[in-house]
């Protein structure tokens, strides 16, 4: 079988789709599936709309010699891939790791609702409505949809997609290499909290800053790994709440991100929305104590008081209490680390690849 993979990101770019695409590119051939990767980054330098047209032709050219196309998002690569599949009467498989319309609405178009609220809203900005239409039409055209968690299956179902068309395949991670910790982070006093991800509203980095500021006793430092539109506001907030105790690293390579997480006394993911976070699974594999929210796919990765601690979304006091608990209870820390490493085996690459191949063969 020959499969085209249309991906919005690929290493050295970072993010879930980049990690996932690389795993598929390297792992599927051993399972009997030849892969032709078409990267959106190859056309990103072109003007808007022109880049999507150019990408359509790249995917279509590759698909002529393949059996099907797997696109790793429902809009930026999804729409061109969908049109290419339709024009050649080839099967389309879509991997959906989030609600693209909601994410863009939160970042650019004034949407303030949570994802669970958003999917039931009748009135949204026109441009967000357009993105909703695109992602749902691409999903309806697909032979099968792959999502990383049961939570995202319920979200995609609200787009009008039958649940029988949506398959859950949990993400997997491989710790290939751990790089170097930025010098500025190494100089921070301990204990050290690390958080990572796009600096966007639903990651709630400001809540991590506020929680650390609430903690009594020994002063705790914070390293924030990632880039995004909220960085300037967050840096000002950190300077006020944690003067001299915060470093914003900006974008790091995947290996350096892993090194920084591994150095942490606690890794915190304070998001109000996650499909299935690669970062959480990687933190498990690295044996780092984890605190995260009871949001979306986080509940599939972390079991409270077993391989990590869970706190309610938006509860800064609960996050501060959880941090204090981990720093003051050595037995708890040791147990969380042991169970983190053990539970990371549930997200094996072989299981992910085998299930993906099974789905592809069943629908192509």
State residue 171's pLDDT score: 83
More confident residue, 140 or 14: 140
* End-to-end C-alpha distance for the chain, whole angstroms: 9
Judged against a pLDDT cut of 80, whether residue 249 lies above it is answered with: yes
Using only C-alpha atoms, what is the Rg of the chain? 21
For helices 16-27 and 349-363, the axis angle rounded to 10 degrees is: 80
Task: Quote the CA–CA distance of 84 and 95 in Å, as a whole number.
Answer: 16
DSSP run (H or E) holding 363:
helix 349-363
* 17-41 CB burial, b ≥16 within 10 A, e <16: bbbbbbbbbebbeebebebbebbbe
DSSP run (H or E) holding 239:
helix 231-241
* % of the chain residues with pLDDT over 70: 100
Residues 267, 242: contact at Cβ < 8 Å? no
Mean predicted confidence (pLDDT) in 113-139: 93
Mean predicted confidence (pLDDT) in 272-281: 87
State residue 294's pLDDT score: 95
Burial of 47 (0-12, 13-18, 19+ CB in 10 A): exposed
For residue 246, list its beta bridge partners: 222
Say if 2-172+348-363 and 183-347 have the same CATH topology: yes
* 60-90 CB burial, b ≥16 within 10 A, e <16: bebbeebbbbbbbbbbbbbbbbbbbbeeeeb
pLDDT tens for each residue of 26-35: 999 999 999 9
Sign of the torsion angle spanned by Cα atoms 111, 116, 119, 122: negative
pTM of this prediction exceeds 0.85: no
State residue 273's pLDDT score: 87
State residue 297's pLDDT score: 87
pLDDT tens for each residue of 314-356: 999 999 999 999 999 999 999 999 999 888 888 888 889 999 9
State residue 18's pLDDT score: 85
State residue 38's pLDDT score: 97
Give domain limits for the chain: 2-172+348-363, 183-347
Please report which confidence band the pLDDT of residue 293 belongs to, taking 50, 70 and 90 as the band edges.
very high
Mean predicted confidence (pLDDT) in 175-203: 92
CATH code for residues 2-172+348-363: 3.40.50.2000
pLDDT tens for each residue of 295-324: 988 998 999 999 999 999 999 999 999 999
Sequence-ordered list of residues with C-beta below 8 angstroms from that of 268, at least 6 positions apart, any chain: 193, 194, 195, 208, 290, 291, 292, 319, 323
> Coil, helix or strand for 96?
coil
State residue 275's pLDDT score: 82
Judged against a pLDDT cut of 90, whether residue 4 lies above it is answered with: yes
Identify the architecture of domain 183-347 in CATH: 3-Layer(aba) Sandwich (3.40)
SS3 content of the chain, % helix, strand, coil (to 5): 50, 15, 35
Dihedrals phi, psi of 268, to nearest 5 degrees: -120, 130
Judged against a pLDDT cut of 90, whether residue 283 lies above it is answered with: yes
Please report which confidence band the pLDDT of residue 269 belongs to, taking 50, 70 and 90 as the band edges.
very high
Please report which confidence band the pLDDT of residue 274 belongs to, taking 50, 70 and 90 as the band edges.
confident
Mean pLDDT, rounded, of the chain:
93
Encoding tokens for residue 40? 């959106």
Burial of 199 (0-12, 13-18, 19+ CB in 10 A): buried
Place of tokens 């991800």: 197
Residues 71, 95: contact at Cβ < 8 Å? yes
Task: Quote the CA–CA distance of 166 and 325 in Å, as a whole number.
Answer: 40
Judged against a pLDDT cut of 90, whether residue 89 lies above it is answered with: yes
Task: Quote the CA–CA distance of 82 and 101 in Å, as a whole number.
Answer: 17
């Amino acid at each position: 079988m020959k499969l085209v993979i249309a991906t919005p990101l690929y290493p050295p770019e970072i993010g879930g789709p980049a990690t996932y695409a690389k795993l598929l590119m390297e792992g599927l051939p051993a399972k009997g599936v030849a892969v032709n990767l078409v990267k959106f980054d190859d056309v990103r330098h072109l003007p808007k709309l022109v880049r999507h047209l150019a990408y359509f032709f790249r995917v279509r050219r590759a698909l002529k010699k393949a059996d099907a196309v797997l696109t790793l998002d429902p809009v930026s690569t999804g729409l061109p891939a969908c049109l290419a599949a339709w024009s050649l009467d080839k099967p389309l498989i879509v991997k959906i790791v989030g609600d693209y319309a909601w994410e863009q609405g939160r970042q650019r178009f004034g949407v303030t609702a949570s994802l669970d609220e958003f999917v039931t809203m009748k009135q949204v900005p026109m441009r967000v409505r357009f993105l909703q239409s695109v992602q749902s039409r691409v999903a309806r055209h697909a032979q099968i949809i792959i999502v990383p968690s049961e939570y995202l299956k319920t979200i995609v179902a609200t787009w009008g997609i039958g649940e029988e068309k949506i398959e859950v395949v949990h993400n997997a991670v491989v710790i290939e290499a751990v790089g170097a910790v930025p010098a500025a982070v190494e100089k921070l006093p301990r204990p050290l909290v690390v958080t990572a991800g796009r600096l966007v509203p639903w990651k709630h980095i400001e809540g991590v800053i506020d929680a650390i500021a609430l903690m009594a006793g020994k002063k705790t430092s914070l390293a924030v790994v990632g880039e995004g539109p909220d960085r300037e506001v967050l840096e000002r907030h950190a300077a006020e709440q944690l003067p001299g105790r915060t470093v914003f690293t900006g974008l790091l390579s995947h290996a350096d991100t892993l090194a920084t997480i591994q150095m942490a006394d606690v890794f915190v993911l304070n998001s109000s929305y996650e499909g299935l976070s690669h970062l959480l699974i990687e933190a498990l594999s690295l044996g780092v104590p984890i605190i995260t929210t009871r949001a979306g796919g986080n509940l599939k990765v972390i079991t409270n008081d077993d391989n990590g601690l869970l706190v309610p979304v938006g509860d800064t006091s609960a996050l501060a209490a959880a941090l204090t608990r981990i720093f003051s209870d050595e037995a708890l820390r040791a147990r969380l680390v042991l169970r983190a490493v053990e539970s990371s085996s549930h997200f094996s690459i072989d299981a992910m690849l085998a299930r993906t191949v099974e789905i592809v063969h069943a629908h192509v």
